[in-house]
Amino acid sequence: MWTPKSIPIAAKLRLVIMATTAAALLVTSAALFAFERINFNARLEQDLSTLAHIIGENTVTALSMYQMEFAREILAALQAEPQIVAACIYSKDGGIFEQYIRAGAKPNVPAQPLADGFHSTKDQKLFFAGLVEKKSSERMGTICLLADFGAMRNRLRLYTLIVALVLLISLVIAYALSGRLQRVISEPILDLVRTARVVSELKDYSIRAEKRSDDELGSFVEAFNQMLGQIQEQDHALREAKEELEDRVRERTRDLFALQRQNELILNSAAEGICGLDMSGKMTFVNPAAADIIGWTVPELVSQSEHHVLRHSDIDGVPYRDGECAVCAALLAGRPYLSADEIIWRKDQTNFHAEYARTPILEDGKLMGAVVVFKDITEEKRAELELQVLNKQLQRASRQAGMEEVATGVLHNVGNVLNSVNVSATLVWENVRQSKSSNLAKLAALLREHVGDFGDFVANDPKGKMLPRYLADLAEHLSEEQSEMSKELELLMKNVGHIKDIVAVQQSYSKVSGLVESLSLAGLVEDALQMNVGVLKRHNIRVVREYEDAPPVSLDKHKVLQILVNLMRNAKYALTQGASLDKQMTLRIETEAGRIKITVKDNGVGIPPENMIRIFSHGFTTKKDGHGFGLHMGALAAREMGGVLTAHSDGPEQGATFTLELPMATKETQHEYTQ
């Protein structure tokens, strides 16, 4: 198909020369036409103005005297002016006084005079001028001359014919000259094209183009020859590199084959089942382990649907309906799929639990298939169940150990109170042993001896005279003794009552663990505090309570009490070991977003940073007689209830804060509600 780009360069050069020549002539002709039109219009306006002036001077008298014949004769003289097609004289009132129309013409003469000056239409030009009497300077009327553009059109037609003839002759001459002139440019270019074609066909980069001039084309030929030289050198280097590359490719192919063989051996030796899938979910590769696990052979599995062979039904044998397979959906979406417990089916239609992973295969961002890796975890599941049983046994043992720890704390508190009871009882016994009430028997015997002479005895006998004073002193002494014994007995009764309270509280929490009840948070914290109140008083530890108003919550009382008692005992230990004189333990209750926070804070020895990460580890303790079980068990108990036990300290001697955070309804409560 012919296109401008397919024209030979010689023809293009010839067309350029001829087009340039034609364009120059056309521009010149256009300028000539424009000049002629402007010049003709100027001459026409000058002629109309002159004629109107001459006719006006000759017809003003005829108009003033109303001599129409004279005016007609003057207007008839316009026949000598071929461009004038009509003339009209208007009277003072605007009516037509006399007019001239050239034979055969049909001009559009205005019925009323227009404003003085030139007026142009498409086919004619009009000139209006006033007729003024010189003596009186009175305007007597108006003259109008109408001229057409026929003369101008005739002249332009003649010019057009001349220009066309000149253009034709010029193009013929330009065509003849361009045939010779274009060779100066086209021949070197065509020679360069022929050289490039030969080089391209023969692949012989030793050929060189001939340089014919020192202009730009000559420079281009030199650059072309230099390029051929460079290509020749590069071709030589490329051939050598190609040979070297082919050797490396052969060597690399051997390495890849060996690597592929090694990969096959690795896949075939893997204990896990490995399958390759295409986009339709069919197996393209299956290692022997996968076939052995599910009871098939490798040839039987290749090209089969992985879904229909391995995962066609749920654990109860109910087949998956179309669109329900999340694994297939993940493959189509290009997402990986991981499952720690997937049901896989064997050839004999028995199933087993497996770890299952499906990873998409991508090439340049395009999904090509997937790799499936699965492992039979039946033994792991069995071991996991056994481990769960052991964990439950350990939890029961831990709970019993925790209860023993709580009981030890209670006995410790009871022992502290019993010390006070022992002191009070000893004081009462000493007071009774040293009491002077035995002197009353001596006094009674003395009085019996002097029953008959009691008055004389009191008045004259030296002992009798001392009897009233002695009775008064004895009464005062017995009264003081009774008061002291009463105080000691009252304190003794309080301590005994305290022991009863501690035992009662412990009895209320010694029931079966896991019982969830609705109870007051403040009451729960106070019960835990009651079990430690004796030792806190003995060490002068001040307790600060910061309780928010909180509604009753459902908790496992035994677990929470076990945690709080242990936290308070740890706070007591930290305070007794610290250097602060103002020993203070702060108990705080907060509620936030459906959760409760119980905080036990002290200003004791604090916790070093290196111990913060081990504080809840089993067996870790800083106490000389500690066993490292309390905080670990507390953290586990908090986790069982759906909460968390955390610790914070700014460092040694900066105190510590332990926070027990639990939901308003623990896991045990939620379980009960769903039963």
Q: What is the 3-state secondary structure (H, E, C) of 636-658?
A: HHHHHCCCEEEEECCCCCCCEEE
Neighbours of 128 (CB within 10 A): 19
Q: At 586, is the pLDDT very low, low, confident or very high (cuts 50, 70, 90)?
A: very high
User: Which two tokens mark 491?
Assistant: 């304190």
Beta strands in 384-531 (DSSP E): 516-519
Radius of gyration of the chain (CA): 65
What whole-number distance in Å separates Cα of residue 192 and Cα of residue 225? 10
Phi, psi of 534, deg, nearest 5: -65, -50
CA distance 637 to 398: 10
**Which residue, chain included where needed, has tokens 């290509």?**
231
Q: Which two tokens stand for residue 288?
A: 């022997």
Inter-CA distances, 630 with 43, 134, 312, 516, 532, Å: 126, 140, 50, 22, 16
Give 441 or 607, the one with higher predicted confidence.
607
Determine the Cα angle at 367 with ends 362 and 369, to 5°.
Answer: 90
- What the block records as the tokens of 175 is 């065509």
Report how far apart, in Å, the C-alpha atoms of 369 and of each of 25, 281, 285, 335, 613 are: 73, 8, 12, 11, 45
Q: How far is 200 from 186, CA to CA, in rounded Å?
A: 21
Ramachandran region of residue 317, left (φ > 0), alpha (ψ -120 to 50) or beta?
left
Which phi and psi angles does 116 have, rounded to 5°?
A: -60, 140
Mean pLDDT of 81-92: 85
Name the token pair of 539.
């060490």
Spatial distance between the Cα atoms of 474 and 478, rounded to a whole number of angstroms: 6
Q: What is the pLDDT of residue 603?
A: 92
- In the beta sheet, which residues pair with residue 553? 519
Percentages of the chain per state (helix, strand, coil), in multiples of 5: 55, 20, 25
Q: Are 402 and 618 spatial neighbours (Cβ–Cβ below 8 Å)?
A: no
Backbone angles phi, psi at 104, to 5 degrees: 85, -5
Between these two residues, 124 and 603, which has the higher pLDDT value? Answer: 603
Q: What is the pLDDT of residues 170-185, one digit of tens each?
A: 888 877 777 777 666 6
**pLDDT for res 210:** 76
Secondary structure of 227-256 in HEC code, one letter for each residue: HHHHHHHHHHHHHHHHHHHHHHHHHHHHHH
pLDDT at 638: 87
Beta bridge partners of 591: 596
Q: Which residue has the higher pLDDT, 303 or 220?
A: 303
Q: What is the distance of C-alpha 589 from the center of its chain?
A: 38
- Give dist(CA 190, CA 184) in Å, integer: 11
- pLDDT tens figures, 304-342: 988 888 888 888 888 887 566 777 777 777 788 888 888
Asked whether the beta carbons of 633 and 645 are under 8 A apart, the reply is no
Helix axes 521-530, 557-577, angle to 10 degrees: 50
The pLDDT of 591-620, averaged and rounded, is 85
Rounded to whole angstroms, the Cα distance separating 598 from 588 reads 6
- 13-60: pLDDT as tens digits: 777 877 888 888 888 888 887 887 787 778 878 888 888 888 877 777
pLDDT of 666 reads 52
351 pLDDT more than 80: yes
Question: How do 584-592 and 542-547 pair as beta strands?
Answer: parallel
Mean pLDDT of all residues in 133-139:
78
Both tokens assigned to 482? 């009774």
Residues 6+ apart with CB under 8 A from 612: 647, 649
Spell out the residues 6+ positions from residue 114 whose beta carbon is closer than 8 angstroms to its own: 126, 128, 144
Pair type for strands 117-120 and 553-556: unpaired
* Highest mean predicted confidence (pLDDT) among 77-91, 471-485, 641-655: 641-655
Number of C-beta neighbours around residue 503 at 10 A = 15
Angle, helix 557-577 to helix 378-433, in steps of 10 degrees: 60
Match 């003072």 to its residue by tokens: 92
Name the residue with higher pLDDT: 414 or 364: 364
Partners of 370 in the β-ladder = 277, 360
3-state secondary structure 300-322: HHCCCEHHHHHCCECCCCCECCC
Instruction: Give the separation between CA 674 and CA 671, rounded to whole angstroms.
Output: 5
> What token pair was written down for 183?
């060779």
| Reported confidence tier of residue 437, pLDDT bands at 50, 70, 90 | low
Widest Cα–Cα separation across the chain: 206
List, in order, residues 6 or more apart from 358 with CB less than 8 Å away. Answer: 277, 327, 330, 331, 336, 337, 338, 370, 371, 372
User: Which residue type, as a one-letter code, is found at position 610?
Assistant: E
**Which pair of structure tokens corresponds to residue 355?**
């770890």
pLDDT of residue 675: 37
Whole-number Å distance between alpha carbons of 207 and 220: 16
Question: Taking the model in full, what pTM does it have?
Answer: 0.32
Nearest alpha carbon to residue 634 among 399, 408, 390, 392: 399
**Half-sphere CA count of 16, side-chain side, radius 13 A:** 12
How far apart (Å, rounded) are the C-alpha atoms in residues 397 and 389? Answer: 12
Q: What angle do CA 247, 252, 254 make, to 5 degrees?
A: 100
What's the rounded mean pLDDT across residues 403-418?
A: 56
Answer whether residue 398 shows pLDDT above 60.
no
pLDDT tens digits, 89-126: 888 888 888 888 888 777 888 888 888 888 887 778 88
The per-residue pLDDT for 296 is 92
* pLDDT at position 513: 47
36-40, 428-432, 575-579: which is most confident: 575-579
Contacts of 374 (CB under 8 A, 6+ apart): 272, 273, 290, 293, 310, 342, 344, 354, 355, 356, 357
Q: In whole angstroms, how far apart are CA 549 and each of 267, 522, 645, 662?
A: 65, 9, 22, 16
List the Cα angle 609/399/509 in 5-degree steps: 105
State phi, psi for 270 to the nearest 5 degrees. Answer: -65, 145
Instruction: Report the alpha-carbon distance of residue 13 to residue 177 in Å, rounded.
Output: 11
